[in-house]
């Protein structure tokens, strides 16, 4: 199947049913009655509910931080958020709270950003900010002002490959997660591919007494087991998870033998789907010769099967999908590129459908 066919597989099925002379009604309406009515009508519905379609503002960071210009492209929070709402997005994930000071003659405040959200019918579903004990309460205050139900970071809880460091990170995150829960907010961490690399957790030891080989346990999956499910949550970056599948499939066991272990992003989420309230819906073209195995593209123009991913993990009403493209900004030569990519990606996200009885 082509990439476009994969993206719109369910929509294509609806067209086929219609071509056969069987009426397919609007989204959410009965499409096909089961024989005898035993299982109720078949309905076509959005795979990602409209209210759960979001964007991380890092994707349009060039326009959030831009000074007023004559390009005709929105700049600053007020104009960019209004445009994103026009496109159809209902949620945004923050990646900083600042814009160019020339817009207001000073820096914008979180309370002013909240008013812009409210005026445009937008909800802040999370943020990538610094998570540490020293500034956590301050970050929770900002999250509260913006109305967030989730607070997180774009980095890993630990940059180490050693179990002891992940144990220490788990202790801290359990404590911070408990504090966040007391404020009605879920604490989450976001992955890059290295988070799903292998722990070094068995000998022989190096000169510093550190293990040099692995049992095959992946770092973030170990972190799942050490953190409390009611306090610590996760945002899977789907693109980087598939990069991890490409890059991290071999480890050296305690005997020095190379072992194969295939990483499956779907099967990582499905058994613990409620620990993943947020996702980065980021697409990529397969590029086996590239170091990551993929090149980023707007959602729906790549090879990642989002239809399969979101269908299999279930709980579509619970999950929030934030579109992201790290390289969306087009620079001075194409200042409208990131907004254009946001438009394309929203339309493709909204075309993902599912059939239910």
Report pLDDT digits (tens) over 210-231: 999 999 999 999 999 999 999 9
The confidence score (pLDDT) of residue 356 equals 83
The per-residue pLDDT for range 168-195, each reduced to its tens digit, is 999 999 999 999 999 999 999 999 999 9
Mean pLDDT across 313-338: 97
User: Does residue 24 belong to any structural domain of this protein?
Assistant: no
What tokens appear for 36 in the block?
């005898």
Give me the chain's average pLDDT, please. 91
pLDDT-wise least confident of 2-6, 52-56, 187-191, 247-251:
2-6
Provide the pLDDT confidence category of residue 25 given band limits of 50, 70 and 90.
Answer: very low
Q: Look up the CATH number of the domain holding residue 303.
A: 3.20.20.150
Total domains present in the chain:
1
- The mean per-residue pLDDT over the stretch 238-253 comes to 98
Closest CA to 31 of 10, 52, 5, 49: 10
pLDDT at 317 over 90: yes
Residue 99 — pLDDT band, cuts 50, 70, 90?
very high
Does some domain include residue 269? yes
Q: Is the pLDDT at 269 greater than 60, yes or no?
A: yes
**Is 266 within the bounds of a domain?**
yes
- Residue 37's pLDDT is 52
Residue 42's pLDDT is: 87
Asked, for residue 30, whether it belongs to a domain, the answer is no
Domain assignment present for 74: yes
Q: Between 89 and 6, whose confidence is greater?
A: 89
pLDDT of 255 > 50? The answer is yes
Q: So what's the pLDDT on residue 41?
A: 79
Domain membership flag for residue 183:
yes
pLDDT at 279 over 80: yes
Answer whether residue 101 shows pLDDT above 80: yes
Backbone angles phi, psi at 295, to 5 degrees: -120, 135
Confidence of residue 11 (pLDDT cuts 50, 70, 90): very low
248 pLDDT above the threshold of 70: yes
Is 139's pLDDT higher than 80? Answer: yes
The yes-or-no verdict on residue 338 having pLDDT over 90 is: yes
pLDDT over threshold 90, residue 19: no
What's the rounded Cα separation, in Å, for the pair 290 and 271?
A: 31
pLDDT digits (tens, 9 = 90+) for 143-164: 999 999 999 999 999 999 999 9
Please tell me the distance from the alpha carbon of residue 334 to that of residue 332, in angstroms, as a whole number: 6
| Pairwise CA distance, residues 8 & 86, whole Å | 23
Average pLDDT (61-87) is 97
The percentage of residues in the chain with a pLDDT greater than 90, rounded to a whole number, is 87
Query: Does the structure show a pLDDT above 50 at 1?
Result: no
Q: Is the pLDDT at 31 greater than 60, yes or no?
A: no
Is-cis flag, bond preceding 25, omega within 30? Answer: no
pTM above 0.85, yes or no: yes
pLDDT at 66 over 90: yes
Is the sign of the CA dihedral 94, 97, 99, 105 positive or negative?
A: positive
Task: Identify the band that residue 70 occupies on the pLDDT scale cut at 50, 70 and 90.
Answer: very high
In a domain, 284, yes or no: yes
Residue 254 located in a structural domain:
yes
Centre a 10 Å sphere on the Cβ of residue 67 and count the other Cβ atoms it contains: 11
Residue 331 lies in domain:
48-356
d(CA 112, CA 92): 15
């Amino acid at each position: 199947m082509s990439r476009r066919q994969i993206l719109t597989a369910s929509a294509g099925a609806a067209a086929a049913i219609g071509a056969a002379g069987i009426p397919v009604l609007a989204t959410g309406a009965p499409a096909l009655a089961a024989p005898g009515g035993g299982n109720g009508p078949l309905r076509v519905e959005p795979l990602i509910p409209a209210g759960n379609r979001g964007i991380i503002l890092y994707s349009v960071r060039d326009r959030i931080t831009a000074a007023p210009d004559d390009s005709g492209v929105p700049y600053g929070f007020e104009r960019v958020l209004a445009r994103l709402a026009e496109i159809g997005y209902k949620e945004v994930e923050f990646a900083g709270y600042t814009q160019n000071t020339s817009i207001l003659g000073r820096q914008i405040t979180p309370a002013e950003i909240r008013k812009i959200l409210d005026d445009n019918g937008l909800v802040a579903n999370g943020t990538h900010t610094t998570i540490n004990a020293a500034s956590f309460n301050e970050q929770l205050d900002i999250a509260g002002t913006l109305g967030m139900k989730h607070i997180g970071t774009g980095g890993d809880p630990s940059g180490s490959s050693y179990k002891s460091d992940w144990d220490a990170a788990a202790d801290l995150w359990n404590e911070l997660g408990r504090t966040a829960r007391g404020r009605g907010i879920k604490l989450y961490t976001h992955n890059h591919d290295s988070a799903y690399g292998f722990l070094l957790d068995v000998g022989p030891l190096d000169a510093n007494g550190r293990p040099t080989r692995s049992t095959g346990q992946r770092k973030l999956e170990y972190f799942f087991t050490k953190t409390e499910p009611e306090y610590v949550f996760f945002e899977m970056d789907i693109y980087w998870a598939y990069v991890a599948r490409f890059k991290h499939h071999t480890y050296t066991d305690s005997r020095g033998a190379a072992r194969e272990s295939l990483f499956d992003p779907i099967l990582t989420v499905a058994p613990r789907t409620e620990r993943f309230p947020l996702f980065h819906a980021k697409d990529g073209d397969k590029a086996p010769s590239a170091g990551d195995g993929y090149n980023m593209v707007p959602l729906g123009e790549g090879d990642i099967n989002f239809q399969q991913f979101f269908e299999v993990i279930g709980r579509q009403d619970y999950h929030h999908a934030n579109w992201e493209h790290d390289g969306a900004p087009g620079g001075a030569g194409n200042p409208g590129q990131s907004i254009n990519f946001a438009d394309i990606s929203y339309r493709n996200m909204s075309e993902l459908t599912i059939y239910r009885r």
